[in-house]
Structure 1
Amino acid sequence: MYRVWGFIEDYSILLIVGSVLALVWANADPAGYRFFVDYPLWLNDWIGADIHHWLPHHAAEYGLDETGAVRVLTIHFLVNDILMAFFFAVAAKEVWEAIALGDGSLRGRTAATPLIATLGGMLGPIAVYLGLAWCLGPDGFDTVSRGWAVPTATDIAFSYLVGRLVFGPAHPAVNFLLLLSIADDAGGLVILAIFYPSGDLAPEWLLFSLAAAVAVYLLANVLPRRLDRHDQERPHSTWVRKRLGVLPYAMAGAMSWYGFQQLGLHPALGLLPIVPTIPHAERAFGIFHAAERYLSDLLNRIQKLLRHPVEFILFLFGLLNAGVAFQSIGSPTWLVLAGLLVGKPLGIFAFGWIAAKPMGLGLPRGMRTADLVVVGCTAAIGFTVSLFVASVAFGAGAVQDAAKMGALFSFSAAAMAWLAGRLFRVERQKA
């Protein structure tokens, strides 16, 4: 029994509320909205955006002169680069368990077809986006080409919700869609890390982040267990768990995040090296499985602690990123939308069919080849991660706003999935 409806309630409702408020505010008072989003909270030398890039565009707006500070912590940076790290850590936790544990959902032959279909669901949108962008000519292509990764994303929660409505909760295609979506987001994290650095790369800082992960793993995880090898009461492990709790991992997370900022990779990914170091259950029940709420391992306890903070973080993310003026619709809007609504269904169907038929990996029992088309349409809802990638791929301005509008319009994939379900005569299967 998957607890994905709980996941939707936890992580998506407030996101929608924030996004709707942002759309209303940005169209009613554009200047006021931008003033709020880019407001400088702290001029400093440690945390924030490069002030030399920020100051020329905003000095007059906020009444600032030249300053000796190196960085500026804006509200936008606080949410997108610092607080969103907790959201990506929650997603990474599910991916880590699904891949690393022996019975993880993304291991073995049963996961092979969804994983190959995921690859198609990423390559298809890229091909459609760049192919159509090429038709804009050299100047147009150069303007929009950095957004090729925006339509590769799949919003886990909303796609799952639409999948349940189209297929019914007991249909095997729903779990297929869930595996595909989480693998898609894992691929999105890799794309962000490799292709969208936040500045000039300083590789030595990667060693700093990795050293923080290795140190906390050895000192707070391995060492206590090693000291307790011949003592069934496990006094050292108990002391670390009760007295220190999450503190060592919080400190290591802060160090890793800072290393990512200095490294030049997007800081929102800064907690990812720490997630595998946290003590976790020895088995996986499945992605977002209900049984996880009863586990007492530290990794699941941290996820529970983050539940309400991440809800509010996603509200702020929607408020700060979905504020797009309706007149900003442009060619990036249609490129992102075509990548999602055309490229993703085609890619998922083509690669899923290759995996199931020529490669002989098959589909889950009770799932037809035609269902791959409907799954592809359902997975075309980009929303959350598409908004995030758009904010990273393009600088603030008309192109970024137009790309974000395409991410928002991707909700139209829900209607497309319903029509595809009717066309291919999907039989809803109740629980």
Structure 2
Amino acid sequence: MYRVWNFINNYSLLLVAGALIALIWANFDTHAYHHFVEYPLWFNDWIGGDFTRWANNYGEGFEKFEVGDVTKVLSVHYLVNDILMAFFFAIAAKEVWEAVILKEGSLRGKKAATPLIATLGGMLGPIAIYVGLAALMGSATFDAISRGWAIPSATDIAFAYLVGRVVFGAGHPAVRFLLLLAIADDAAGLIILAIFYPSGDLAPAWLLVSLGSAVGVFVLFNWLPRMMDRGDQLRPMSSWVRKYLSFWPYLLAGCASWFGFQEAGLHPALGLLPIVPTIPHADRAFGIFSEAEQYLTDLLNQIEHMLKHPVEVVLFFFGLLNAGVEFSSIGTPTWLVLAGLMIGKPLGVTIFGWIAARPLGLGLPSGMRALDLVVVGCVAAIGFTVSLFIASVAFDGNVVLNGIHVQDAAKMGALFSFAAAAVSIVVGKLLRVEKQHG
């Protein structure tokens, strides 16, 4: 496998830095922290969150802003979570798209069957633990927290990959298995966000804007130039489009698609997903954020690498704006999220992975043991980024259980999932994982 690009290391450090600052700030001056998070940038009727909900989240002092008769507020939180995070999800979608569509894609054919089945277990296991334990706690508790069932189903692809390399060594086949599992998990997470966590009242007709944008930009700036260049090895039209128009048609289409998602009631952070498959791409990929991809000349890889530093900054602010939870918020949702990740993930990945490898006869990568599935499951229990994101959309900030804000308590569970890194190292030692460096 080619050396992982520095994006993962930078992304991890900046994201953690943002989260740590948020935790300290929120516990020393909660009032100032939340006013920073919800600070209004623009009162309008086009882009932003619902005004009433914003006023509730901002709390005391919102009336000092002279807003007039408006329905939406573009706050700092909305800017990062709903607009800028779209670029992060676009990068994740790019990796998923290449893994599925390319001839040698990592999620094509029999080689991906066992990781995909293990991924299914790694999502069903946490959901079953979370929902099952919530049901045992009574109807009042279940009704308050059941909407967060998807929070522990997530796997943080970058952190899991980094910890996997520490536990197994860079050359171990289990690292590749883990990467496939995390990519598939991300794909499933995007689908869950789109279907089960709409950001408002659904208006599906607006999705025609996103669909039209995707089809239009593909036909006019990808398919048509290639058709006009057929039989001409110099490819004059494609070269002209690439030289003079570059990524701009896709950015404009992305803006239209994003707006369509917002108006349709789906989470707008997913608004760039329909555009990603329309961008010209190479016929091969070197793996997630591989350094070797810098030398590919296709527009999709170039856009991804152009977004490297901006997305690192976005993820810092994502951590800063979403991880600010008071330690007094630890409660039932915290332990349910943590149980789903720390218990459900390893169980689900191990059981479903073993069924796929043995009874179904799909096998494991050469050099990987069945016991390694347990360790992979432990590593995959690091939820963090996507778990935090789902927690922020699953619960309204005003939902309270036993005097504790459910959203904050669930976020604390996502933060505590970092413990899975230490657990993975210990389990790896106990199960005698032999590191393979390469």
* TM-score > 0.5 by shorter chain: yes
Residues 94-149 of structure 1 show CA distances to partners (whole Å, capped at 9, x for unaligned) of 11000011110111111110010000000000000000101111110000001100
Residues 229-261 of structure 1 show CA distances to partners (whole Å, capped at 9, x for unaligned) of 243322211111111101100000000000000
Residues 291-346 of structure 1 show CA distances to partners (whole Å, capped at 9, x for unaligned) of 21110100011011101100100000000000000110000000000000000000
Please give the TM-score of this superposition, normalised by the length of structure 2: 0.96
How do residues 172-183 of structure 1 correspond to structure 2 at under 5 angstroms?
A: 172-183=173-184
In structure 2, stretches of 5+ residues that fail to align are 399-404
Partner of 1:276: 277
Pick aligned residue for 2:411 from 399, 404, 411 = 404
Question: Shift of the alpha carbon at 1:61?
Answer: 1.6
- Specify the code of the residue in structure 2 equivalent to 1:160: Y
User: Is 1:111 paired with 2:120?
Assistant: no
- Specify the code of the residue in structure 1 equivalent to 2:434: E
- Specify the code of the residue in structure 2 equivalent to 1:36: F
Report SS of the residue matched to 1:12.
helix
Partner of 1:9: 9
In structure 1, stretches of 5+ residues that fail to align are none
Residues 203-226 of structure 1 show CA distances to partners (whole Å, capped at 9, x for unaligned) of 101111000000000000111111
User: Is 1:424 paired with 2:425?
Assistant: no
Partner of 1:47: 47
Partner of 1:61: 61
Partner of 1:127: 128
Whether contact under 8 Å (2:190, 2:270) holds in the other structure is: yes
Whether contact under 8 Å (1:210, 1:273) holds in the other structure is: yes
> Structure 2 CA distance, aligned partners of 1:126 and 1:355?
20
Please give the TM-score of this superposition, normalised by the length of structure 1: 0.98
How do residues 202-281 of structure 1 correspond to structure 2 at under 5 angstroms?
A: 202-281=203-282
- Specify the code of the residue in structure 2 equivalent to 1:427: E
Whether contact under 8 Å (1:2, 1:288) holds in the other structure is: no
Partner of 1:414: 421
Question: Shift of the alpha carbon at 1:67?
Answer: 3.1
Whether contact under 8 Å (2:34, 2:58) holds in the other structure is: no
> Structure 2 CA distance, aligned partners of 1:430 and 1:312?
31
Report SS of the residue matched to 1:363.
coil
Report SS of the residue matched to 1:43.
strand
Partner of 1:370: 371
> Structure 1 CA distance, aligned partners of 2:289 and 2:57?
43
> Structure 1 CA distance, aligned partners of 2:214 and 2:5?
33
The Cα RMSD (Å) is: 1.3
- Specify the code of the residue in structure 1 equivalent to 2:432: R
> Structure 2 CA distance, aligned partners of 1:165 and 1:56?
44
> Structure 2 CA distance, aligned partners of 1:56 and 1:148?
25
> Structure 2 CA distance, aligned partners of 1:48 and 1:223?
36
Question: Shift of the alpha carbon at 1:285?
Answer: 2.7
Question: Shift of the alpha carbon at 1:64?
Answer: 3.6
Compare 413-422 and 331-340 and name the one that shifted more.
Answer: 413-422
Question: Shift of the alpha carbon at 1:163?
Answer: 1.1
Question: Shift of the alpha carbon at 1:288?
Answer: 3.2
> Structure 2 CA distance, aligned partners of 1:5 and 1:299?
16
Residues 136-171 of structure 1 show CA distances to partners (whole Å, capped at 9, x for unaligned) of 111100000011000011111111111111111111
Alignment identity in percent? 68
- Specify the code of the residue in structure 2 equivalent to 1:343: G
Whether contact under 8 Å (1:10, 1:307) holds in the other structure is: no
- Specify the code of the residue in structure 1 equivalent to 2:429: R
Partner of 1:352: 353
Residues 181-214 of structure 1 show CA distances to partners (whole Å, capped at 9, x for unaligned) of 1111111101000100001110101111000000
> Structure 2 CA distance, aligned partners of 1:232 and 1:165?
46
Residues 385-415 of structure 1 show CA distances to partners (whole Å, capped at 9, x for unaligned) of 1100000101124110000000000011111
Whether contact under 8 Å (1:105, 1:284) holds in the other structure is: no
User: Is 1:35 paired with 2:42?
Assistant: no
- Specify the code of the residue in structure 1 equivalent to 2:106: S
Question: Shift of the alpha carbon at 1:59?
Answer: 7.0
Partner of 2:142: 141
> Structure 2 CA distance, aligned partners of 1:98 and 1:289?
13
Compare 413-422 and 110-119 and name the one that shifted more.
Answer: 413-422
Residues 258-288 of structure 1 show CA distances to partners (whole Å, capped at 9, x for unaligned) of 0000001000000000000000001223333
> Structure 2 CA distance, aligned partners of 1:11 and 1:278?
24
Whether contact under 8 Å (2:35, 2:58) holds in the other structure is: no
> Structure 2 CA distance, aligned partners of 1:56 and 1:319?
20
> Structure 1 CA distance, aligned partners of 2:58 and 2:411?
22
User: Is 1:391 paired with 2:392?
Assistant: yes
Partner of 2:320: 319
Question: Shift of the alpha carbon at 1:66?
Answer: 6.8
> Structure 1 CA distance, aligned partners of 2:437 and 2:66?
64
> Structure 1 CA distance, aligned partners of 2:184 and 2:289?
13
> Structure 1 CA distance, aligned partners of 2:100 and 2:254?
21
Report SS of the residue matched to 2:41.
strand
Report SS of the residue matched to 1:4.
coil
Partner of 1:291: 292
Equivalences, count: 431
Partner of 2:401: none
Partner of 2:160: 159
